[in-house]
A and B are shown apart, each in its own frame.
Chain A
């Protein structure tokens, strides 16, 4: 079931036990409780274990599909209260730009309190700074961008490995002083779709096919979005759209993958 928190417990000999769902102090699997219509809220995108409230017990700060954050308060020895608190700013849910919140908690600015950083479905890295100061309950401010998402362009449709110069979308982050220079660095994982010619086409043939497909595709999209089109016309346009989209595989191989990028802090 999506939304549960899984733990692979480390053994004394350095190996791991199989994943098991983390339970709350009530003995039930831990999960973000949501109303039926907001089911994507309870799909956790990343749990991050940290002593958020300074009581010397690990808590869980978790993200979700919607892009908000919840705190499961720890009771010590891996036990967590089942009812989480939503993390808020000015009484409103703290929300990233984009979706798929990806919490990482660390004292980013070295002022003694814990800041909350996150990746996003849109890419990039965002930070909600903590203004509370050392030893006080967190007082976050709204997210701002620390690393801007990669600019999208029409050429992304035919992106090749050699075109990549930085992370794409759906960023997942990790922060540490990777090179031991005393400054925090950022690891960024991503999602990207790379393409290549299919069916033995040369690059030139591929480009010609793709350009031709693009013209037809744009025409169908226009028909589909036309406000003047009747229902029958729009249904037909949608069918042509689906057929056309699947036809791409005849001349184009698409490889959805993800890489890991490192930003060293200057």
Chain B
């Protein structure tokens, strides 16, 4: 394993880093000027992937409620468009078994 100095970084949410990595303080992601958030009861599950094939990775966020997934298109320059539900066969995609 690559040996790096053990470093710690105190950020707003507490002692944030241990081990071979240093991070900037966490930033809450926004899309179209609004915080990216999921419906009740929460459990946001992010994924960074080029879902529309335009060469830029987009933000996908899964949620507990309905097993649905929001897609936030990457507009470039660190900007994300407002979220739209991922669709499958023309309807909002749902992952069964998530209750």
Could you tell me which A residues sit within 8 Å of B by CB distance?
Answer: 1-4, 6, 8, 14-19, 46, 108-111, 127, 129, 131, 144-151, 161, 164-167, 170, 172-174, 176, 178-179, 186-193, 255-266
Residue of B nearest to A129 (CB): B1
B37 touching A259, Cβ below 8 Å: yes
- The reply to whether A3 and B97 contact each other, CB–CB distance below 8 Å, is yes
B81 lies within 8 A of chain A by Cβ: no
Q: Is the CB of B63 within 8 A of A17?
A: no
A146 touches B17 (CB 8 A): yes
Q: A109-B2, A151-B13 are in contact. List 9 more A-B contacts (CB 8 A).
A: A2-B97, A16-B86, A16-B87, A18-B89, A144-B19, A148-B18, A191-B44, A192-B42, A266-B23
| Count, chain B residues at interface, CB 8 A | 56
Asked if A187 and B48 sit within 8 Å, CB to CB, the answer is yes
Decide if B44 touches A164 in the complex (CB within 8 Å): no
B35-65: which residues lie under 8 A (CB-CB) from chain A? 35-48, 52-53, 57, 59, 61-63
CB distance from B28 to the nearest CB of A (A): 5
Task: Find B93's partner among A4, A16, A131, A178 (CB 8 Å cutoff).
Answer: A16
A178 touches B40 (CB 8 A): no
